[in-house]
Amino acid sequence: MTPTTGHGTERPHAMHLQTLTAADEELTVRLECDPVIMQHIGGPRPETDVRAAHKRRLALMEKGQAHMYTVVGNAGQVLGTIGIWKIGWMGPHTYEMGWFVLPEHQGKGIATQAGRLLIAWAAAHPDIGIIHAYPAVTNLASNAVAHKIGMKNMGEFDNEGFAGILRCNDWMIELS
């Protein structure tokens, strides 16, 4: 079952989350190879790496270790992606959340609403207890989204990512 309805408190949009599939690979490439979208995450990734990451995410979904979605507007337009995936080093019921919004849809509350939809969906699943998000401290928009969807900032830390060490905030929400 996928999250299908919801409204944020600012600029609500009719939208739903649709399970990410192999057919969404070009969307993943468009998002993760874009220098503006990736500016706070170490810059655009090489296309071959993005394609491999998309396949890894699909494999994790098949194992039940990730729940990845495209964010779709009421007219069927794709707005971005959002997902959660297990981070075993934090405990068996702990997940990380991440989101991307296409540049033409940014600044409209899309990520906030999609985040609320995904958290509401996750709260109905007892195997998901805690969700973290790790936006770079420089990513004011993503830090604002984390706050608006009810996460608490647990402080800054150095996070190792694909492009090296990034200074990030550790946002967390307990679902139980």
Question: Taking 80 as the threshold, does the pLDDT of residue 88 lie above it?
Answer: no
* φ/ψ (deg, to 5) at 127: -75, -5
Q: Indicate the pLDDT class of residue 118, thresholds 50, 70 and 90.
A: very high
Question: How far apart are the C-alpha atoms of 167 and 138, rounded to whole Å?
Answer: 8
Residue 107 is which amino acid? G
More confident call, 164 vs 140: 140
Task: Check residue 2 and give its pLDDT.
Answer: 47
Instruction: Report pTM.
Output: 0.90
Task: Check residue 15 and give its pLDDT.
Answer: 95
Lowest-confidence segment of 1-10, 96-105, 131-140 by average pLDDT: 1-10
Task: Check residue 3 and give its pLDDT.
Answer: 52
In the chain the beta strands, taken as DSSP E runs, fall at 15-19, 66-73, 78-86, 94-101, 130-133, 152-161, 164-174
The mean pLDDT value for 49-58 works out to 97
Task: Decide if 100 contacts 81 (C-beta within 8 A).
Answer: yes
Question: Residue 8 CB: number of other CB atoms within 10 A?
Answer: 20
The mean pLDDT value for 95-122 works out to 96
- As given in the structure block, the two tokens for residue 119 are 């958290």
Question: Taking 70 as the threshold, does the pLDDT of residue 12 lie above it?
Answer: no
Q: How far is CA 138 from CA 32, 39, 56, 106, in A?
A: 18, 10, 28, 17
Domains of the chain, with CATH numbers? Answer: 15-130 (3.40.630.30)
Question: Residue 153 CB: number of other CB atoms within 10 A?
Answer: 13
Question: Taking 50 as the threshold, does the pLDDT of residue 102 lie above it?
Answer: yes
